[in-house]
Amino acid sequence: MTVTPLVSRTRTIDLPGGLALTVQEYGHNTDGTGVLMLHGGAGPHSMSGFAAAMAQHAYVVVPTHPGFDGTPRPQWADTVADLSVAYLDLLDELDLRGVMVVGSSVGGWIAAETALRDNRGRISRLTLLGSTGITPEPPAQIINPAEVGPVKTGELAFHNPELRPNPASLSEEQKAAFAANQHTLAVYAGDPFCHDPKLRGRLHRVTVPVLVLAGEQDGIAPLDYQRALADAFPHATFQAIPEAGHFPHIEQPEAVFAAIGDFVESEVKPEGN
């Protein structure tokens, strides 16, 4: 997949409640629509290549969850619900409508919670990539990177061994930054880790179309878990992505873009258009 480089811009947007939110913007807001991309515990860089590719077709905004990558996190911002409200405030500030929210891992959970609270109708669809959020049904489980360590996490997260991070190659500064991000993830993911026992019972209220994409080799939030997540929405499409783990948009970007294209054509565009 060839992507024409686009200049991205980073800025800080002041939101209600004293939240100074760092956002990366790709493309230009020319028609009041766009894509909101929400990263997981791997941080905003895990969405950068995907965002740049998506920006060939739409204005894309990638916020950094407060506390990640050294950004400030107010003490009151400590739940997924807090983030979902912040991102609705962001859509208000940018005056975006018809927004597709794309969430990776815990970012998918945030996306679902954001759609549940969207009382101004700014969100038109969701795309969830290796998403967490609902309680897994045994024997399925969501793996906590803090419990299994970075080496095992890489093995579970990536099908392609060449993409697995090598902790031994990290500088002390990089290790410290990784540890700080994992601490912030733990704050938002809570206990139980990365799911809310009550979320499944609320998802019937998400009325926009939802696309759930799952890497067939995802060892963090496994395939059966992703199928169950799709089943919890009233209007969801599920698709497995071969030869991909927890980050299908990184390992198989062409397959992910094709799936999103089909989803938009079949589920979003009105008949006859």
155: helix, coil or strand?
A: helix
Asked whether 129 and 106 are in contact (CB, 8 A), the reply is: no
**Dihedral, 145, 134, 24, 48 alpha carbons, nearest 10:** 60
Instruction: Put residue 144 in one of left, alpha, beta given phi > 0 → left and psi -120 to 50 → alpha.
Output: beta
Which one-letter amino acid corresponds to residue 38? L
Q: Which pLDDT tens digit goes with each residue over 57-102?
A: 999 999 999 999 999 999 999 999 999 999 999 999 999 999 999 9
The CATH number of domain 8-265, selected from 3.40.50.1950, 3.40.50.410, 3.40.190.10, 3.40.50.1820: 3.40.50.1820
pLDDT score recorded for residue 270: 52
Eight-class DSSP state of 264: I
Indicate whether 273 pLDDT > 50.
Answer: no
- Residue 145: Cβ-neighbour burial (10 angstroms; 0-12, 13-18, 19+): buried
pLDDT digits (tens, 9 = 90+) for 105-124: 999 999 999 999 999 999 99
What's this model's pTM, rounded to 2 decimal places?
A: 0.95
User: What residues does each domain of the chain span?
Assistant: 8-265
What pLDDT sits at residue 272? Answer: 44
Task: Give which of 66, 33, 68, 38 is closest to 50, Cα–Cα.
Answer: 38
Structure tokens at 218: 């995802």
Radius of gyration for the chain, computed over Cα atoms and rounded to the nearest angstrom = 17
d(Cα 248, Cα 154) in Å, to the nearest integer?
14
What phi and psi, each to the nearest 5 degrees, are found at residue 28?
Answer: -135, 145
